[in-house]
Amino acid sequence: MAADRRIVIENCSIATVDADDTEYTSGHLVLAGDRIESLGAGKAPEGLENVVRRIDATGHLVTPGLVNTHHHFYQWITRGLATDHNLFDWLVALYPTWARIDERMTYAAAQGSLGMMARGGVTTAMDHHYVFPKGSGDLSGSIIRAARETGVRFTLARGSMDRSEKDGGLPPDFAVETLEGALAATEATVDEHHDASFGAMTQVAVAPCSPFSVSTELMRQGAELARRKGVRLHTHGSETVEEEQFCKELFGMGPTDYFESTGWLGEDVWMAHCVHMNDSDIAAFARTRTGVAHCPSSNARLAAGIARVPDMLAAGVPVGLGVDGTASNESGELHTELRNALLINRLGAHREAALTARQALRLGTYGGAQVLGRAPEIGSLEPGKLADLVLWKLDTLAHASIADPVTALVLGAAAPVTASFVGGEQIVENGRLLHVDEDAIARSTRDEAQRLARIAARA
Ligand SMILES: Nc1nc2[nH]c(O)nc2c(=O)[nH]1
């Protein structure tokens, strides 16, 4: 068998985000095939065989690739709408448009969402897709195809809604699936697309949408389905005070107790937002190792509040970062969420004792890998792990005067990505996507956004 092709990266700062936060001011990495073979201070060892490429990364910081833990790709074609609404009003304003999406639209929107994140250092993405209009085609397949073409590692959280207005829920009746239909389609998606192997490029999670759009039966049976199939569970939780009130009125308990009563706390579960959590909610997440996707920009955009991330981390809750759908975070970037997570948490209860720059980087890398269940493979730079990593250019006008590279990355302007690798394959060069045509994607997302707006206006 041919020896693995090696790529050597030298003369860079490295933030490994390993358990000891090991960093090198001038170091090297050796990639062999899809893995990191070695890394350390100074130059790479002499005499390495099969070196197909040497990268002089002078002026760069190398970090693990960023991991996005919460998104709704289809929202790429409904950005900039209902901009002054809180969550419930915003959802009610947008559901009727979202309920008209089709396969061409979800494919274009996924390309836009994935492209935007990949250009900014994301190497593992996820999409919580929960709108499946009747006759709209193979939406899940189209999203997975876009992820494969872009080259990022990917989790599709197959979402669902079956609690509409007639059952006391928020979505209109025409926007939801039936309980049986949602469960059967979710199971079929797991069977067709989930890959449980080390280094998998595509995984599937079971992901009913939120307490106010999903029946209790779908929550319960969704949890049973995921555990029977050995896949992860994802949903929205504790996002707003209105959701808390909804749960208390309908179920007689707050969201965390409701999730526990339906089998939704556990190390195979991660939830988006978790803004309105009391001490006992945080303790329950820590005890059960339930993960959190922290989405600071979206929480600000929808006036949801400030999640208690420092308290969660202190309690031992696994926390990653999320862009969230781009109808509530129009920028669609994850690298800026490192900065926003730090800044927004400084406004919370802990003020200056809140997140450090290194904690923010950990949330966006290793923390994300933990909540997606991929921490044995990705999230830190260590020998034997998958070669998912980013070369951030920090010798720029915007960054060069900041001495500490991690501080420059997190607190400085969004840093240019010189190169980004997924499993040793380069997917970005000098800020441009290598495997897909960005200009064509820009055109198709504009066209599909206009087509959706026209269809929704006629409905
Ligand atoms: N930020 C968001 N929260 C949500 N809850 C829900 O049911 N859907 C959404 C969503 O699209 N974004």
Instruction: Quick: pLDDT tens for 76-103.
Output: 999 999 999 999 999 999 999 999 999 9
Ligand 1 nearest atom to the CA of residue 273, by list position: 1
Distance 169 CA to ligand 1 centre (A): 13
Residue 398 C-alpha to ligand 1 middle, in angstroms? Answer: 34
Averaged pLDDT, 369-378: 97
Half-sphere exposure of 346 (CA within 13 A, CB side): 12
- Residues 274 and 127: their CA atoms lie apart, in Å, by 18
What confidence tens digit (pLDDT) does each residue in 135-191 have? Answer: 999 999 999 999 999 999 999 999 999 999 999 999 999 999 999 999 999 999 999
pLDDT digits (tens, 9 = 90+) for 390-408: 999 999 999 999 999 999 9
Residue 236 C-alpha to ligand 1 middle, in angstroms? 7
Q: What is the pLDDT of residue 1?
A: 43
- pLDDT tens, residue by residue, 189-221: 999 999 999 999 999 999 999 999 999 999 999
Distance from residue 88's CA to the centre of ligand 1 (Å): 9
**Which atom of ligand 1 is the closest one to the Cα of 72?**
11
Query: Which ligand 1 atom sits closest to the C-alpha of 161?
Result: 7
In whole angstroms, what is the distance from residue 259 CA to residue 274 CA? 12
Taking the C-alpha atoms of residue 207 and residue 232, their distance in angstroms, rounded to an integer, is 9
Copy the structure tokens of residue 189.
Answer: 């998606």
The dihedrals phi and psi of 217, each to the nearest 5 degrees, come to -65, -40
| Ligand 1 centre distance from Cα of residue 223 (Å) | 20
Which residue has the CA at smallest separation from atom 4 of ligand 1? 236
Give Dmax over CA atoms of the chain in angstroms. 71
What percentage of the chain carries pLDDT values higher than 70? 99
Question: Which residues on adjacent β-strands are paired with residue 31?
Answer: 7, 36
Contact 182, 361 (CB under 8 A): no
CA-to-CA distance for 169 and 173, rounded, in angstroms? 9
Mean pLDDT of the chain: 97
Ligand 1 center from residue 71 Cα (angstroms): 9
Mean of the pLDDT values across residues 325-340? 98
Please give the number of the atom of ligand 1 that sits closest to the Cα of 239.
Answer: 3
CA of 235 to the centre of ligand 1 (A): 9
Q: Which of 92, 210, 235, 242 best tests ligand 1's pocket when mutated (most atoms within 8 Å of CB)?
A: 210
Q: pLDDT band at residue 3, thresholds of 50, 70 and 90?
A: low
Name the nearest CA neighbour of 359 among 430, 309, 315, 399.
Answer: 309
**Beta sheet of 291-294, edge-to-edge order:** 66-67, 122-129, 153-160, 202-208, 233-237, 269-273, 291-294, 319-321
CA distance 307 to 422: 31
Q: If pLDDT is split at 50, 70 and 90, which confidence band does 242 have?
A: very high
pLDDT more than 90, % of the chain: 97
For ligand 1, atom 12: residue with the closest CA: 325
Exposed e or buried b per residue across 414-444, where buried means at least 16 C-beta atoms within 10 angstroms of its C-beta: bbbbbbbbbbbebbbeeeebeebeeeebeeb
> Which one of 87, 215, 238, 298 would you pick to mutate in the ligand 1 pocket, going by the greatest count of ligand atoms within 8 A of its CB?
87
Q: Read off the pLDDT band of 350 (50, 70, 90).
A: confident
Report which protein residue has its CA nearest ligand 1's atom 10: 325
The structure tokens listed for 415 are 């840093």
The atom of ligand 1 lying closest to the CA of 75 is 11
The predicted structure's pLDDT at residue 349: 74
Distance 448 CA to ligand 1 centre (A): 21
Please, which pLDDT band fits residue 301 given cuts at 50, 70 and 90? very high
| pLDDT score of 353 more than 80 | no
| pLDDT given at position 72 | 98
Which protein residues are within 6 Å of ligand 1, measured from CB? 72, 87, 91, 209-210, 213, 236, 239, 298, 302, 324-325, 328
With a cut of 80, say whether residue 259 has pLDDT above it: yes
**Opening angle at CA 84, ends 79 and 88, nearest 5:** 85
pLDDT greater than 50 at residue 105: yes
Residue whose structure tokens are 């959280």: 157
Top mutation candidate among 69, 70, 71, 72 for ligand 1, by most atoms within 8 Å of CB: 72
352 has a pLDDT exceeding 90: no
State which ligand 1 atom lies nearest to the alpha carbon of 236: 5
What are all long-range contacts of 252-260, with beta carbons under 8 Å and residues at least 24 apart?
254/278, 254/281, 255/211, 255/281, 256/280, 256/281, 256/284, 256/285, 258/211, 259/219, 259/235, 260/284
Task: Give yes or no for residue 373 having a pLDDT over 80.
Answer: yes
Q: What is the mean pLDDT of residues 297-309?
A: 97
Distance 244 CA to ligand 1 centre (A): 14
pTM value is 0.98
Ligand 1 test: best mutation among 75, 90, 91, most atoms within 8 Å of CB? 91
